[in-house]
Structure 1
Amino acid sequence: MEIGLSTFVETTPDVQTGEVISHAQRIREVVEEIVLADQVGLDVFGVGEHHRKDYAASSPAVVLAAAASQTKRIRLTSAVTVLSSADPVRVFQDFATLDAISNGRAEIMAGRGSFIESFPLFGYDLKDYDELFEEKLELLLRIRESEKVTWYGGHRPAIHNLGVYPCPVQDPLPVWIGSGGNSQSVVRAGMLGLPLVLAIIGGSPLQFAPLVKLYKRAAEKAGHDVSKLPVASHSHGFIAETTEMAADKFFPSTQQAMNVLGRERGWGHYSRASFDAARSFEGALYVGDSKTVAEKIIHLRKHVGITRFMLHTPVGTMPHEDVMKAIELLGTEVAPRVREEISNWEKEL
């Protein structure tokens, strides 16, 4: 059972002061967070790609590379790379370079993206949303298959027997599929034999169990070894010394961020009642003391089949020292408890 973190490198206004941290400072803080995650024994850290003012990481590979030379073991991934509006050749080159710097710890998490700012920025039409992803994923996988590439598509110039460099340390360079719970994307990942990441940020996590089964059936039908295909989850959360403290610290910035997105997308108001319901044992928020969060992760593993858990923190802007403390608790208290319990449970099966 792998345990890690993800971030969107948010730069929203501070709930208390209204001040907005600079992109540069927040990026430097995230590098510190990745280094700490490595030091406390966590397995993976993901940085999400966005192209808007309140998110600072438009280039996750560069942020991860800054941490790569300061870390030893932790795996470094995008969370996600918006492949539909990216050039797969450049994506592969960036992460192959990260793989070299980290000596084989880079991963690509490819997704269509739930934000659309990158499409007009890079000159793509949203009506091609699905077609772009399918075509570019095909090219990305073709690139990792061989040093020289020949490929033809409808949204990018053809490539005729050209090399893509540098070559990564890992062969093949890991590519995961990120999904918000769309059955088509789950089936696609299974048929391709690619690891799956589910964004479990609302409702009951147990509702995703049928999707994991669908993914495994698709993989098995396509002839892939299901036992070798990991399934990850990405969920919002926060850890503090007590559950009450964790909830009180995490709620204000979460409410602010969710209501900003809610106004953009037509969601209802995000209240403390909504927050408290989501952090119940059957809810999608992993907020509490170490014991509470560990028990929820164990429950997710046993009933959904998740083999990698990524805690997304913070949501909105929180004090850097609070985020660092949450990372420390995740690595030193939550992860050991989860790994021991899962190990014992699997021995009994």
Structure 2
Amino acid sequence: MELGLSTFVETTPTIGNGEKVTHAERIREVVEEIILADRVGLDVFGVGEHHREDYAASSPAPILAAAAAQTKNIRLTSAVTVLSSADPVRVFQDFATVDAISNGRAEIMAGRGSFIESFPLFGYDLQDYDQLFEEKLDLLLKITASEKVTWQGNFRPAIHDLGIYPRPVQDPLPVWIGSGGNSESIARAGLLGLPLVLAIIGGNPKQFAPLVQLYKRAAEHAGHNPNALTVASHSHGFVADTTEEAAEQFFPSTQYAMNKIGRERGWGPYTRAAFDSARSSEGALYVGDPQTVADKIIDLRKNVGITRFMLHVPVGSMPHKQVMKAIQLLGEEVAPIVREEVAKWEEENK
């Protein structure tokens, strides 16, 4: 059972004083967060790609590269790379470079993207949303599998027996599929034998168990060993010394960010009642003291089949000091509880 974190490098106004850190300041803070996550023994840190004012990470790879040079063990991944609007050759080259700097700790988490700003920015038509992802993923996987590539598609110029460099330390460079719960994308990941990341950010997490089973059935149908594949969860949450403290610190920025996105997408207001319901034992928010958060992660492992858990913090902008404290608690207190209990449960269920 792996545990880690993800961030979109948020730069929304800080609730209370209305101040907003610059993109440059927030990027430097995230590098510090990754270094701390490595020091407290967490397994993975993901940085998500966005192309809008309230998120600073339009290019996750350089941020991960900066952290790679200052860390020893933590794996470094995008969360996600919007592959549909990217050039797979450049994506591979960027993350192969991170892999070299980190000596084999880089990963790519590829997704279609729930935010669409990158499509007009890079000249792509949203009507080609699904076809773009399928084609770009096909090329990326060919590049990870072979030093020289011959490939032809509809949206990018063909490649004729050309070498793609640098080659990564890992062979192949890991590529994950990120999904918000779309059954077709989940089945595709299984058929390809690729590890899967589920964005479990609403409803009851146990509702994702059938999707994990679909993924494993698709993998087995294609001849892959389903037991060898990794399934991860990307879920919002926050850890503090007490559950009350965690809720009070995490709610204001979460409400601001969710309402901002909600207004763009036609959602209703995000209320304290919705927040409190989501942080209950049946909800998708992992907010509380270390034992509370550990118990929910253990439940996710036992009932859904998640083998990697990534806590997304913050949602909206929070004081850097609070985020650092949450990372420390996740690594030093939550992770040992989860690892011990999961190891004991797996031994009992061999």
Please give the TM-score of this superposition, normalised by the length of structure 2: 0.99
1:319 aligns with 319
Report how many residues are paired.
Answer: 349
**Unpaired runs of at least 5, structure 1:** none
2:62 aligns with 62
Q: Name the CA distance, whole Å, in 1 between partners of 2:267 and 2:167.
A: 44
| 1:227 aligned onto 2:227 | yes
| 1:25 aligned onto 2:25 | yes
2:16 aligns with 16
CA shift, 1:17, in A, is 1.0
CA shift, 1:123, in A, is 0.3
Give the letter for the 2:316 counterpart.
G
Write out per-residue CA displacement over residues 287-307 of structure 1, whole angstroms, 9 at most, x where no aligned residue: 000000000000000000000
1:284 aligns with 284
Q: Name the CA distance, whole Å, in 2 between partners of 1:22 and 1:242.
A: 30
Q: Name the CA distance, whole Å, in 2 between partners of 1:317 and 1:146.
A: 41
Q: Superposition pairs for residues 255-270 of structure 1, below 5 Å?
A: 255-270=255-270
2:144 aligns with 144
Structure 2 SS opposite 1:234: strand
Write out per-residue CA displacement over residues 171-191 of structure 1, whole angstroms, 9 at most, x where no aligned residue: 000000000000000000000
Q: Name the CA distance, whole Å, in 1 between partners of 2:292 and 2:285.
A: 11
Q: Name the CA distance, whole Å, in 2 between partners of 1:17 and 1:124.
A: 39
Question: Pairwise CA RMSD of aligned residues?
Answer: 0.3
Runs of 4+ in 1 over 6 A off after TM superposition: none
Q: Name the CA distance, whole Å, in 2 between partners of 1:52 and 1:204.
A: 30
CA shift, 1:329, in A, is 0.2
Structure 2 SS opposite 1:232: strand
Q: Name the CA distance, whole Å, in 2 between partners of 1:173 and 1:18.
A: 42
**Unpaired runs of at least 5, structure 2:** none
Write out per-residue CA displacement over residues 76-135 of structure 1, whole angstroms, 9 at most, x where no aligned residue: 000000000000000000000000000000000000000000000000000000000000
Give the letter for the 2:295 counterpart.
E
Q: Superposition pairs for residues 1-349 of structure 1, below 5 Å?
A: 1-349=1-349
Structure 1 SS opposite 2:235: strand
Q: Name the CA distance, whole Å, in 2 between partners of 1:226 and 1:239.
A: 32
Q: Name the CA distance, whole Å, in 1 between partners of 2:69 and 2:31.
A: 11
Q: Name the CA distance, whole Å, in 1 between partners of 2:296 and 2:20.
A: 33
Q: Name the CA distance, whole Å, in 2 between partners of 1:14 and 1:320.
A: 10
CA shift, 1:42, in A, is 0.0
Give the letter for the 2:329 counterpart.
L
Q: Name the CA distance, whole Å, in 2 between partners of 1:348 and 1:148.
A: 47
Give the letter for the 1:240 counterpart.
A
